[in-house]
Every structure is written in structure tokens, then in C-alpha cells.
Amino acid sequence: MLEKTKTTNLQEGMYVVCSANGFASLPPDLSNKTISSKTDISAILKLNIFEVLIDSEKSCIQNSFPQTTYSEEILFAREAYNNVLNCIQKIYEIIKNNGNLDISAYKKDVSPLIDSIDRNSSAAASLTVLARANRYLFTHSLNTAILSAILGRYIGLSRETVEELSIAALLMNVGQIWMPSNLLQKKGKLSKEEFQLVKQHTVKGSKYLLSQNTPESILKSVKSHHEKYDGTGYPEGLSGNEIPQFARIISICDSYDAMTSDRPYREALTPNSAIRHLYSMANSAFHPRYLESFIKCVGIYPVGCFVKLSDGRYGVVVTNTPKAPLLPQVKIVFNSRFRAIHPEFVDLANRSDQMKGDNLEIVECIHPKTFKLELDRFLW
């Protein structure tokens, strides 16, 4: 996917295609290539070019933020998460009271959360497993925004673009304000008439946001985040690359968080079961490249999985290793007899390299409710 980026926002790892100015072209040694050093950026900045086209699907951002460990970052991520959660609640109150939204202000609200994601995305990702049923509308929007930001950064979107993407995810369900609450909480299957009514939330939300001078990219995302790659989605039956980029990203993250959350009509899936379910819908519901990138960046065993290891101990996945998706970092909290122990962080990928012939690996992902566990206590 091509997008315009200011040359002042260029980062190592971005794949530069060409100039976007229309009158000055990039020299051959700087076009159709990945920026590999600050020297490349300096060379582009010296030219009379203010914007370039970036291929986000070929980009791989090299994070310039100082990296932190999960333990170091989790408290910052938790504070940023709670601040944005309060922001979402205020947004819905403003809408209900016919007030005016301030999109630029919301970008400032999400900025600390994106800073945290840039430092260590696993910390913010772990918070997405803690959705509360009584605040589902708010936590689901925030969780989708976090996952969208993680995916956006992974595929090489600029910081400015990811901020806008996050706002789009936060606002994706504002149209549900005008839906009957009993319909959204129904435990059984929706009738055809009821489903037609629910589907109107995308159009109602985008129409309202149009009156609030909302950027077009956000409007399109809110309207199109239930479109499907094969054209069977709604409201317009868009397919493939007709679906806006933000909507393609949000639809995957929206579905994943919904699958891993308790709903009135079903219990939550384990994160790895949700990943398998998403993968089964590649080329039908979801853009295959974006889905592949999502699975790579969240892992086969996503953060928040409660797992049993091959030595019989139990723990929670707290960090993923993109190069070794089956070997994440695990916080071990129970011994093989399921007795609480002093937490131990084990990097399965490093251990696998160091302990040839004596590998420690995940043998099972277990739903926390099996043991009546609250994961909240293990994520700090």
C-alpha cells in the first residue's frame, strides 16, 4: 500500500518508492529501496523534495525509541491505557450530549500510549486481555486501537499515520450509540431484521463524524471496518484493495479482540485459538498480507496466553519473538503441581539456543477460566 510521507518523517526501514511532489524525482540510488541508514535520509532531505511515496507493505521500521523490558514498561502502559479509556468514555458522553468532538486533542491523548508501544509493544498488548464486560464498548475500542497501532508500526506506517489509525479505531463503533442496548446485549442469534439494524451503526457513525470535521481517512475507516476482502461485508460490499487501508487493519484487530473477549452469546476464545480462526478466513474476510503481518507481530501464542510448558509448569506469555513465533517469553507463575511460585521470566527462544537437546516449549494454551484465574494479577 502506497502512502505519502513527509521527508522530515522518514525513518530507517521505510521503503521509498518515488517522489510525491510531482516535479522533482529521486535519483535511482534512493528510489525503490529500503532506507538503510541516516545517510540515506540526509541525502533525501538535501533534495528539493518535501513528500515521498512509501510502500508500507515492504517497509520494516527500525524502532528509534530506546527499548524497555516488559517489567519496566508495564506501569507506563497501564497508565496510558487508563487515560485513553477515560478519554473514550468522555467522547461517548460528548456525542450523547450533542457536543463537539476535537479530533486533534484526541491525538495528544493517544500519543503516550503509542510511545509505550514503540518502546515495548508487549506491555500494551497484554492489557488487551483485561476487557471488562460492563465497559466492553470502551475497552473493545481501545484494545482494537492498541492492536491496530502495533500492526501499523509493524508494517512500517509513520508515527503520524498510526496516531490517526488509532483514533479511527477508537471511534469505529460510535454509531452503536443509536442502537437499542438490548439488541447489542442479546444472548441468542440475531434475526435478519435485527442484524440489518445492527449493520446501520457503520453508516450512522460515519455520518455523525462527517458533521464533526473528521479527517477523511477516519470517516472511511468507521464506515468500512466491516467490509470483507471477498466483498461479502457491509455496508457497500467493497472487496480487496477497494477497502481503505485503515479499515483493512482495524477489521482484523476488531475481530481478534472480539473473539478473545466474553460476549453475551459466547465465551472468549484463547488467543491462539482466535489466531487459528482468523487464519482460516484469510482471502475471504481479511486481506491476506495484512493478516499475515498481524500474526507475525502478535505471535502464534499472543501476549496474554495462559500456557503449560513441557516441564509441567504454567505461565503467561508476556513478550513475543517475531523470528521465533512458537518461542515467546513466558512469565512462569505455577509449578507442575499448580502451586504458586515466585515469578520467573523465561525466554524460550534464547533457552532453545542455549540448551540444545533440552528444549523448553509450550505444549498447551489453556483458558484461564479452567482454573478460575484472573490474569490481571500476573501481568504486573
Query: pLDDT tens digit string along 48-107?
Result: 888 888 887 677 765 556 789 888 999 999 999 999 999 999 999 999 998 999 988 899
Count of domains for the chain = 3
| Percent of the chain with pLDDT strictly greater than 70 | 94
Structure confidence at residue 275 as a pLDDT band (50, 70, 90): very high
105 and 200, same domain (yes or no): yes
Domain boundary pick from 251, 277, 298: 298
- The 3-class SS string of the chain reads CEEEEEHHHCCCCCEEEEECCCCCCCCHHHCCEECCCHHHHHHHHCCCCCEEEEECCCCCCCCCCCCCCHHHHHHHHHHHHHHHHHHHHHHHHHHHCCCCCCHHHHHHHHHHHHHHHHHCHHHHHHHHHHCCHHHHHHHHHHHHHHHHHHHHHHCCCCHHHHHHHHHHHHCCCHHHHHCCHHHHCCCCCCCHHHHHHHCCHHHHHHHHHHCCCCCHHHHHHHHHCCCCCCCCCCCCCCCHHHCCHHHHHHHHHHHHHHHCCCECCECCCCHHHHHHHHHCCECCCECHHHHHHHHHHHCCCCCCCEEEECCCCEEEEEECCCCCCCCCEEEEEECCCCCEEEEEEEEHHHHHHHCCCCCCCEEEEECHHHHCCCHHHHCC
Residue 288 and residue 256 in one domain: yes
Q: Is 116 found in the same domain as 99?
A: yes
Q: Report if residue 63 sits inside a domain.
A: no
Q: Could you tell me if 44 and 148 lie in one domain? A: no
Residue 65 belongs to some domain of the structure: no
pLDDT at 370: 81
For residue 144, is it within any domain?
Answer: yes
Residues 287 and 314 in one domain: no
86 with 153, same domain: the answer is yes
Confidence of residue 23 (pLDDT cuts 50, 70, 90): low
Assign 339 a pLDDT band (cuts: 50, 70, 90). very high
Q: Would residue 8 count as lying in a domain?
A: yes
Per-residue pLDDT tens for 155-211?
A: 888 888 999 999 999 999 999 999 887 887 777 788 889 889 999 999 999 999 999
pLDDT given for residue 221 in this prediction: 97
Specify whether 273 is located in the same domain as 166: yes
Strands 51-55 and 329-334: unpaired
Of 298, 321, 353, the domain-final residue: 298
Residue 234 lies in a domain: yes
Mark whether 315 and 292 lie in a shared domain: no
Q: Is residue 263 part of a domain?
A: yes
Pair 257, 319 in one domain: no
Same domain, 179 and 226: yes
Q: Give the model's pLDDT for residue 81.
A: 95
What is the value of pTM for the model shown? 0.84
**Phi, psi of 6, deg, nearest 5:** -65, 140
pLDDT tens column, 30-44: 889 888 888 888 888
**Residue 177 belongs to domain with CATH number:** 1.10.3210.10
Q: Which domain holds residue 204?
A: 70-298
> Residue 230: CA atoms inside 13 Å, Cβ hemisphere, count?
6
175 & 253 share domain: yes
Same domain, 178 and 256: yes
